[in-house]
Amino acid sequence: MDPILTFIVVLIGFYGLSTSSNIIKSVFMVTIIESGIILLFLNLGNYQGGSIPIFSEQVTSIVDPLPQALMITTIVIGSTVTAMALMLSIKVFHYYGSIEWKDVLGREELKL
């Protein structure tokens, strides 16, 4: 495992977030960034020689279980955030008539 390669995934996600043209694409990119950050945290607690944190008689050293417990919470909360963002995108479509960022943010022609 190389943290640099995982960090590249996070950077690709930020690039996509800044260049995405509609709201659904932005939600996809948030999912990618989240997966990359979870992978970075798990790599932080994982060290050589440690086994998975399940207790038994033969196990002497385990990896750090604290990041794993936190990352399960992150996955669950991330899924609810995704569902909430998609619901808000449907409301945005019914209000502005479009989900493209250029229509939603730059609507000078509508300010009558």
Partner 1 sequence: MGDLTLIDASAYALQVLLIILAIAIVMHKNNGTIIILIASFSLVTASLYVLNSAPDVAIAEIAINSAIIPLIYVISISRQREYIILDKVNDDFIISDNSFTGIGYVILKRFADFYHLELNITNDPGLCALGEGEDQVLCEATNVDLIITKDTETNQYVFKGKNSSILIHKLEQLTKDHDNIRVVKFKDRDVGE
Three-state secondary-structure class, residue 50:
coil
Radius of gyration of the chain (CA): 20
86 binds partner 1 (CB under 8 A): yes
Residue placing its CB nearer to partner 1 in the complex, 99 or 101: 99
Give the residue from 14, 19, 23 showing the smallest Cα distance to 104.
Answer: 23
110 binds partner 1 (CB under 8 A): yes
Locate tokens 């992978």: which residue? 39
Taking the C-alpha atoms of residue 22 and residue 90, their distance in angstroms, rounded to an integer, is: 12
The first and second tokens of residue 80, run together, are 């609810």
- Shortest distance (Å) from residue 38 CB to partner 1: 7
Residues forming contacts to partner 1 in the complex (CB under 8 A) are: 1-2, 5-6, 8-9, 12-13, 15-16, 19, 24-25, 28-29, 31-32, 35, 38-39, 42-43, 46, 50-53, 63, 68, 71-72, 75-76, 78-79, 82-83, 86-87, 89-91, 93-99, 103, 107, 110, 112
